[in-house]
Chain A
Amino acid sequence: MTHSSLIGDLIDLNSALKSDSSTDSDEKKQRDRAIGQALQQQRNSPARQLRGWLDQVSIGAWKRDGHHAVQLYHVLCVILVFAGLASGWGLARVVLYYTGNAPINIVNALGLLVLPQILLLLFWLLSTIPNRIPLLGSLQSALRFLNPGRLTRHLARLFPDRSRHSLSLVWDAEYATALAPAARWLFSFWSQLFSFCFNIGVLMAAFYMISFSDLAFAWSTTLNIDATTFHHMLSALSWPWHTLFPDAVPSPELVEISRYYRLEEASFGNAMVASRLAVKLSQWWPFLITAIICYGLVPRLLTLFISWLRFRHHLAHALSRLPGSPELLARMNSPLISTSAPQPESVAEIDAGTGYGPPETGSYALQCAVIDWSGTGVNSESAAKQLQAMGISCQDFLLAGGIRSTDQDNATIGSLCDLKPEGVAVIVKSWEPPLLEFLDFIQSIRAQCNRQQPIIILLWGGRDGVSALDRETWQLTLRQLKDPDLHIETMGSVR
């Protein structure tokens, strides 16, 4: 698993999650759980599981852009490699420029090729240590800002939109919570890649020049340093390799004779001495090369490797932190629980019908047979009084529904026909919805003995009164009968 493919997967995962946001939630649950079960062995590695999901999932409008980003990433790396090599080569050629007239000042060479690297290495270390010291955060922020690796972002702008936009996800502020650590290490990786190649370039140039010309080194500085002190400084600098490569540690004698004014003294004195001196002076190169390797190449290789590892780690970590990833992992690793109905519901179409208004006269002025449906428990005397107020006088009080049999209901209808009332009033419990058997009963009355006369349904609400919802329920249901002479009235209080 390379980190470049991780970049591609990160970008693909992000675009997949975005495209997936419009997918039906149940569909997602089923699909992801199935993939999750297939990837059960990778359950403890979210990044691998998410990458496995990417390989298996299919989302309609999803376009994989990851490979564009990977291409751009590789191109940028190659540019940095060449830029590093070229700048290292160029700088080394300038520093080690030797015409034979004057030896190369080793102090200059160290000052340009080694010391800045030590300083930059310290900066790099400062920028990477955990931020626990006050003010260090600000310093780290500045150092990270100055990291030349960040410039690669600007370099990326030169490339086609599609590649650039997909790769820029890594440093996009919108995804900073998930990707800021990865972005930081990407910039670090890029800067270390450049630096590593810079050192390779320097070494290549140095070896080239050592191989094809007789370089002579000397030392000179405006600082008040004598040969012994300078030798001590060089010995300290050479300490890391003094046992491994003792020849690469300048001897006190070499330091002593390499001083500029000594050279001049020697060369004025004797040509033979001058010639031997020239051979001696070329012995500085092992020291210089080892110093570049020790303070430049090796540390950069190490920081490059650390940056690569950290970038890869944070990239893999970021996969499970992208918006939507925790939910996806939960869908993959949790049992698929479904409690809803798999089939759509078939619902009865309710015809709105027509409304039931009160009598045009404001009062019924009818002599009615009154039927108590299903044992409402209403007191017949108080019911009669309330009916009186509506203009209904009670001709007879009959019972139907409830615990009575359907034969008894038919007998009640028979009695009703015999009475020949001007209308029929049926008292019902408002809180019980009208059942089909009640509608059967009303239709039987209408069919058998009351073809034109009004039938008034009286809603009785008991101690709680009649609620508007109950009244509406009755109205909506009775409308199904499409009976223009069917009326609904409320008895007692209305809630």
Chain B
Amino acid sequence: MTTPLFAIVGHPNKGKSSIVSTLAQDESVTISPIPGTTVDNRYYPMRVDGETLYALVDTPGFQRARAALEWMQKQPGSSVDRSNIVRMFVEEHHDDRRFAAECSLLTPILDGAGILYVIDGSRPFGEEYEAEMEILRWTGQPSLALINMIGDSDYSEEWNHALGQYFRIVRIFDAMTADFDRRIQLLLAFGQIREEWRESLEKAVRILKEEQQRRRKLSARTMAETISRMLTYTCQRRLSGDGASDAVRDSLQQAYQRELTSMEQECRNAVEQIYNHTHLERHEPLVQLLDEDLFATQTWLLFGLTQQQLITTGALGGAATGGVIDLAVGGASLFLGAGIGAMIGGVSAWVTTDRIADIKILGLPLGGKQLSIGPMRNINFPYVVLGRALYHHSVIEDRTHAHRDPLELNQQPAGLQTLDTGHRKQLEKIFVKLRRQETPSTDLVDTLAEQIQKLMELPVSGTTKTPA
């Protein structure tokens, strides 16, 4: 079985390179408004562990189709010999700079490539296309016409009519907006032009779908890690005096916001990398701190013991001491000794924490006051962050590599307001547990990642997603 090969051919500036860039997920393809930018054939094989399942060839656009066709028409021979005449044309003109584009684009077709003829369906049909369509018909190779909708106007009806005379299969495909499912459908359509290619293309589609699932899983994991970190993040600053000035509070809040933004941006970059978008410029409003007052003044103690730990330790020590008394009276005290000891120990630790902090040994304080900000307790915050992350993921997943404009995320998603009760409850459970933890546990992050992956299948901002 031969490897399916598809030559993307057509008039210049009709989106051939955009289609190749979209299907090959290759942002290195030069897309230019200047005709003739593509000067050589460029191969884009789909390789899976070294095995080539199919290949696309981006070709230069026709430049002198009329002259080429006239040369071919002047050659003697019947309609049976037309493909040979095209071959003769290429052989005779391969050093002729006048027909460099025609020779380049016809070479893979004569080598057995299927023809994917691309036109712009947002511009009217013109008689200048007839010569190139006729040449392609002369090659005798299986073909498919793609109506690429570059602009807003729609001339697909008249194009359908014109193309139908030359091509058995005509498909409309917008290289800029085609989501994953449409790209897959197009690949399957390629399989229709020659039966023996179908198996290879179906295998390619299956592998691409699996890859899509892997990408979603990795993205979900990245998003879960980021949300967990953002939800548990705190920022502290030790205070030299008794209170915190507004300047200190402002600077701490800025540092906190900066760190949250940085975590979010890292997550965005990682997700974009997963989808092979490595050079994206992104515009997105900063995440808002939903809590009005995130500040707390706490006591810090040497060796990092928190006040709560100190109280528990005190209670434990008290209980142990009381327990000895219980033991001495042979349990006749009904463990009152341990209970009262725990209470006295705990209360003493609570009362004396501040005093311990004030003690200095060799000039070094045993503790002091610190201003802390975070973690974010607002119950909406994780939903907002998750909503933004899911929206970004949805845009990235659907964004074709033909898009070269900056990624605009200014239109904030409706969020997860439409989320059903089941999903919301499961998420809330995770978020509640996360808020309780100083460091998110890996199990919790895994659970959140699973939930996020499920949410990726749901509609975001009115768009409907189907499982890849």
A334 touches which one: B128, B131, B211 (CB < 8 A)?
B211
| A253 close to chain B: CB less than 8 A | no
| A343 close to chain B: CB less than 8 A | yes
Please state if A347 and B37 are interface contacts (CB–CB under 8 Å).
yes
* Interface of chain A residues 224 through 275 with chain B (CB within 8 A): 225, 229
Known: A138-B308, A429-B126. A339 touches B23 (CB 8 A): yes
A140: min CB distance to chain B, Å? 9
Interface string of A370-408 (1 = CB under 8 A from B): 000011000000000000000000000000011101100
Distance of A473 Cα from B210 Cα, bound (Å): 41
| B450 close to chain A: CB less than 8 A | no
Distance of A223 Cα from B330 Cα, bound (Å): 9
Please state if A341 and B46 are interface contacts (CB–CB under 8 Å).
no
| A330 close to chain B: CB less than 8 A | yes
A473 touches which one: B33, B48, B101 (CB < 8 A)?
B33
* Interface of chain A residues 112 through 148 with chain B (CB within 8 A): 119, 137-139, 141-143, 145-146
Please state if B34 and A473 are interface contacts (CB–CB under 8 Å).
yes
Nearest-CB residue, chain B, relative to A467: B151
| A326 close to chain B: CB less than 8 A | yes
Known: A119-B320, A334-B211. A436 touches B128 (CB 8 A): no
Distance of A429 Cα from B305 Cα, bound (Å): 78
A347 touches which one: B38, B66, B128, B278 (CB < 8 A)?
B38
Distance of A403 Cα from B69 Cα, bound (Å): 11
Nearest-CB residue, chain B, relative to A433: B35
Known: A326-B221, A339-B46, A374-B128. A435 touches B35 (CB 8 A): yes
Please state if B130 and A339 are interface contacts (CB–CB under 8 Å).
no
| B12 close to chain A: CB less than 8 A | yes
A402 touches which one: B127, B276, B438, B439 (CB < 8 A)?
B127
| B42 close to chain A: CB less than 8 A | yes
Nearest-CB residue, chain B, relative to A144: B309
How many positions in chain A have a CB within 8 Å of any CB in the partner chain? 65
Distance of A141 Cα from B61 Cα, bound (Å): 70
Nearest-CB residue, chain A, relative to B313: A142
Interface string of B27-38 (1 = CB under 8 A from A): 011101111111
| A361 close to chain B: CB less than 8 A | no
**Interface 9-residue window, one of B135-143, B440-448, B453-461:** B440-448
A109: min CB distance to chain B, Å? 17
| A481 close to chain B: CB less than 8 A | no
Q: Report chain A residues within 8 Å CB of B429.
A: none
How many positions in chain B have a CB within 8 Å of any CB in the partner chain? 81
Distance of A317 Cα from B42 Cα, bound (Å): 45
Please state if B218 and A327 are interface contacts (CB–CB under 8 Å).
yes
Distance of A472 Cα from B13 Cα, bound (Å): 13
Q: Report chain B residues within 8 Å CB of A145.
A: 305, 309, 313
* Interface of chain A residues 325 through 378 with chain B (CB within 8 A): 326-327, 330, 334-348, 350, 374-375
| A176 close to chain B: CB less than 8 A | yes
Known: A435-B64, A437-B63, A476-B34. A142 touches B316 (CB 8 A): yes
A336 touches which one: B32, B38, B48 (CB < 8 A)?
B48
Distance of A177 Cα from B232 Cα, bound (Å): 11
Known: A141-B309, A472-B33, A473-B33. A337 touches B47 (CB 8 A): yes
Q: Report chain B residues within 8 Å CB of A177.
A: 225, 228-229, 439-442, 445
Distance of A343 Cα from B276 Cα, bound (Å): 17
With most chain A CB atoms within 10 A of its CB, the pick from B30, B274, B442 is B442
| A22 close to chain B: CB less than 8 A | no
Q: Report chain A residues within 8 Å CB of B70.
A: 405-406
Please state if B28 and A345 are interface contacts (CB–CB under 8 Å).
yes
Please state if B207 and A337 are interface contacts (CB–CB under 8 Å).
yes
Distance of A403 Cα from B101 Cα, bound (Å): 20
B49 touches which one: A25, A33, A340, A434 (CB < 8 A)?
A33
Q: Report chain A residues within 8 Å CB of B30.
A: 345, 347
Q: Report chain B residues within 8 Å CB of A181.
A: 441-442
Count the A-B residue pairs with Cβ separation under 8 angstroms: how many? 187
Distance of A28 Cα from B70 Cα, bound (Å): 51
Please state if A432 and B128 are interface contacts (CB–CB under 8 Å).
yes
| B124 close to chain A: CB less than 8 A | yes
Known: A139-B312, A437-B64. A341 touches B28 (CB 8 A): yes
Please state if A339 and B26 are interface contacts (CB–CB under 8 Å).
yes
| A37 close to chain B: CB less than 8 A | yes
Interface string of B214-239 (1 = CB under 8 A from A): 10011001000100110000000000
Please state if B124 and A462 are interface contacts (CB–CB under 8 Å).
yes
Interface string of A413-433 (1 = CB under 8 A from B): 000000000000000010111
Nearest-CB residue, chain B, relative to A177: B440
Please state if A173 and B42 are interface contacts (CB–CB under 8 Å).
no
Please state if B43 and A343 are interface contacts (CB–CB under 8 Å).
yes
Distance of A476 Cα from B36 Cα, bound (Å): 11
Please state if A343 and B49 are interface contacts (CB–CB under 8 Å).
no
| A161 close to chain B: CB less than 8 A | no
Q: Report chain B residues within 8 Å CB of A476.
A: 33-34
With most chain A CB atoms within 10 A of its CB, the pick from B25, B131, B436, B439 is B439
With most chain B CB atoms within 10 A of its CB, the pick from A137, A139, A336, A431 is A431
A141 touches which one: B39, B312, B442 (CB < 8 A)?
B312
| A178 close to chain B: CB less than 8 A | yes
| A440 close to chain B: CB less than 8 A | yes
Please state if B25 and A341 are interface contacts (CB–CB under 8 Å).
no
| A464 close to chain B: CB less than 8 A | yes
Distance of A344 Cα from B210 Cα, bound (Å): 28
| B256 close to chain A: CB less than 8 A | no
Distance of A339 Cα from B207 Cα, bound (Å): 12
Nearest-CB residue, chain B, relative to A374: B128
Distance of A338 Cα from B49 Cα, bound (Å): 8
Please state if A436 and B64 are interface contacts (CB–CB under 8 Å).
yes
Please state if A339 and B42 are interface contacts (CB–CB under 8 Å).
no
Distance of A321 Cα from B225 Cα, bound (Å): 11
Q: Report chain A residues within 8 Å CB of B40.
A: 345-346
* Interface of chain B residues 1 through 40 with chain A (CB within 8 A): 11-13, 23-26, 28-30, 32-40
B66 touches which one: A180, A346, A348, A437 (CB < 8 A)?
A437
| A152 close to chain B: CB less than 8 A | no
Q: Report chain B residues within 8 Å CB of A345.
A: 28-30, 38, 40, 42
Q: Report chain A residues within 8 Å CB of B305.
A: 145
Please state if A340 and B34 are interface contacts (CB–CB under 8 Å).
no
Please state if B47 and A405 are interface contacts (CB–CB under 8 Å).
no
A440: min CB distance to chain B, Å? 7
Q: Report chain A residues within 8 Å CB of B38.
A: 345, 347-348
| B415 close to chain A: CB less than 8 A | no
Known: A435-B63, A462-B124. A178 touches B442 (CB 8 A): yes
Q: Report chain B residues within 8 Å CB of A327.
A: 218, 274
| A490 close to chain B: CB less than 8 A | no
A346 touches which one: B39, B49, B316 (CB < 8 A)?
B39
| A469 close to chain B: CB less than 8 A | yes
B102: min CB distance to chain A, Å? 10
Q: Report chain B residues within 8 Å CB of A347.
A: 30, 32, 37-39
Please state if A341 and B49 are interface contacts (CB–CB under 8 Å).
no
| A477 close to chain B: CB less than 8 A | yes
Please state if B26 and A340 are interface contacts (CB–CB under 8 Å).
yes
Please state if A180 and B439 are interface contacts (CB–CB under 8 Å).
yes
Distance of A340 Cα from B44 Cα, bound (Å): 5
B34 touches which one: A341, A402, A437, A477 (CB < 8 A)?
A477
Q: Report chain A residues within 8 Å CB of B33.
A: 433, 469, 472-473, 476
Identify 8 residue pairs between A and B in the complex whose beta-carbon atoms are under 8 Å apart, listed by A's number.
Answer: A141-B309, A337-B208, A339-B25, A341-B29, A346-B39, A347-B38, A403-B130, A435-B35
**Additional pairs, 9, CB under 8 Å, beyond known A33-B49, A336-B50:** A181-B442, A341-B29, A345-B42, A374-B127, A375-B127, A405-B66, A406-B66, A433-B13, A435-B62
Q: Which 3 A-B pairs have the closest CB atoms?
A: A142-B312, A433-B35, A340-B26
Q: Which residues of B contact A (CB under 8 A)?
A: 11-13, 23-26, 28-30, 32-40, 42-50, 58, 61-67, 70, 98, 101, 120, 123-124, 126-128, 130-131, 151, 153, 207-208, 210-211, 214, 217-218, 221, 225, 228-229, 273-274, 276, 278, 305, 308-309, 312-313, 316, 320, 327-328, 330, 436, 438-442, 445
